[in-house]
A = this chain, B = another copy of it.
Amino acid sequence: MPPKASTTPDPEARPPGRTVRITDVAAAAGVSAITVSRALNTPDRLTKATLRRVLSAVDRLGYVPNLMAGALASRRSRMIVAIVPTIATPMYADALQAFTNAMSQAGYHVVLGLGGFDRREEEQLIITLLGRQPDGLLLVGSAQSAEAKKRLAEAGIPTVEIWGDASPRADLQVGFSHAGVGEAVANHLCDRGYRSFGIVSSDDIRAMERLDGFRRTVERRGGRLAVQRLMAPPSTIMEGRRSLAPLLRALPEGGAVFCSSDLLAAGLLIEAGASGVAIPAELAICGFGDLEIGQAMKPALTTVSVDGAEMGQLAARCMTDRLAGNPIPRRIIVPVEIIQRETT
């Protein structure tokens, strides 16, 4: 069985086990390596015929470009680093999910950095993550340590901050004023006639900002802040349940509570249901976050709606525009809405 034409070596023969490289594709397609590169990155710069030839070779050989080599050569990694405190919180998770999807659409990959709550670790994480040469950075909440901030600034890459406070730290911001939310809730509750107030909140920075706005407004409008329960994040339903009794004790004539999370508010509602406390007659409740649970409770929870997914999407748009060199606003304020349901 003689080989058909063993004189010319098969251009597609490679030592087995070796990965397919761009030069293999080039050889198979009868073009140069750079042409293969162009076929994949800037296809309109090639003739239809060569393009087809190259793509067919790519397909035939199952070529997967080594993006690290490409990144090194082009100095564009097409990676975005996202630094998120945690994704165990639905709102952050939604934002990250939307962001990742949108960036992926635009040809970017997202590297996940979970900052957690330890500053030292966060700092270390940020530094090594910067070593990945990301083209952009997403900060969910702002970086905590000063050293980390310095490094981020020095890196000189587009940085979008979402969920942050209003401080002008980051390059680009997509967010809202937390203090403004507290203020709006206070006004809303005062308008509905409540005079005595309580707070159930986790003590993270952004929640505290909302509380400050709430407190100030309540005082300005002559209301009385009777009780305040602060706890370490993450907020849980159980903590909410446990909070009802002390709240009722502090607010014997009734009043309204502002919770830093719908989870806490839902806990209040569950406990109220179990112990026959009438909501909102004996206690009005306003949550924060507009999670599904609030909407699904009976009575349905009045809350503040912040669309995490929307923020993620906007951040992605912001990022891609910026990477493409388009001019973009330095700050985008997403609408925050009080959703009046049955608990106030």
Closest to A89 in B: B93
- Chain B: minimal CB distance from A122 (Å): 11
Find out whether the CB atom of A293 lies under 8 angstroms from the CB atom of B132.
no
Find out whether the CB atom of A109 lies under 8 angstroms from the CB atom of B128.
yes
Using A270-B297, A296-B267 as known contacts, say yes or no to A114 and B132 having CB atoms under 8 A apart.
no
Closest to A67 in B: B131
Stretch at the interface among A96-104, A190-198, A318-326: A96-104
Would you call A77 an interface residue if the criterion is a C-beta within 8 Å of the partner chain's C-beta atoms? yes
Would you call A23 an interface residue if the criterion is a C-beta within 8 Å of the partner chain's C-beta atoms? no
Interface size on A, residues (CB 8 A): 59
Would you call A94 an interface residue if the criterion is a C-beta within 8 Å of the partner chain's C-beta atoms? yes
Per-residue CB proximity of A80-114 to B under 8 Å, as 1/0? Answer: 00100011101001101100110010010111111
Query: How many copies of this chain does one complex carry?
Result: 2
Contacts of A296 in B (CB 8 A): 236-238, 240-241, 266-267, 270
Closest to A65 in B: B131
Would you call A298 an interface residue if the criterion is a C-beta within 8 Å of the partner chain's C-beta atoms? yes
15 pairs, CB–CB < 8 Å, chain A vs chain B: A62-B151, A64-B131, A82-B112, A87-B93, A88-B97, A90-B90, A97-B114, A100-B114, A109-B132, A111-B111, A237-B293, A266-B296, A267-B296, A270-B298, A273-B273
Contacts of A112 in B (CB 8 A): 82, 96, 100, 109-112
Stretch at the interface among A29-37, A68-76, A333-341: A68-76
Q: Which residues of A pack against B, CB within 8 Å? A: 62, 64-69, 71-72, 77, 79, 82, 86-88, 90, 93-94, 96-97, 100-101, 104, 107, 109-114, 116, 125, 127-133, 151, 154, 236-238, 240-241, 263, 266-267, 270-271, 273-274, 292-293, 295-298
- Chain B: minimal CB distance from A256 (Å): 22
Using A97-B87, A101-B116, A273-B298 as known contacts, say yes or no to A109 and B111 having CB atoms under 8 A apart.
yes
Contacts of A293 in B (CB 8 A): 237, 266, 293
Contacts of A101 in B (CB 8 A): 114, 116
Contacts of A96 in B (CB 8 A): 87, 112
- Chain B: minimal CB distance from A10 (Å): 20
Question: Pick the contact of A132 from B68, B131, B274 — CB < 8 Å?
Answer: B68
- Chain B: minimal CB distance from A212 (Å): 28
| Interface pairs A-B: 8 shortest CB-CB | A237-B296, A274-B298, A67-B131, A112-B112, A64-B131, A110-B112, A87-B93, A68-B68
Find out whether the CB atom of A133 lies under 8 angstroms from the CB atom of B88.
no
Most chain B CB within a 10 A radius of its CB, from A64, A65, A238, A263? A64
Q: What 19 additional pairs, Cβ within 8 angstroms, besides A109-B112, A109-B128, A240-B296?
A: A64-B151, A66-B72, A66-B131, A67-B131, A68-B71, A68-B132, A79-B111, A86-B97, A87-B93, A88-B90, A88-B93, A93-B93, A100-B114, A104-B113, A109-B111, A109-B113, A110-B112, A237-B293, A273-B298
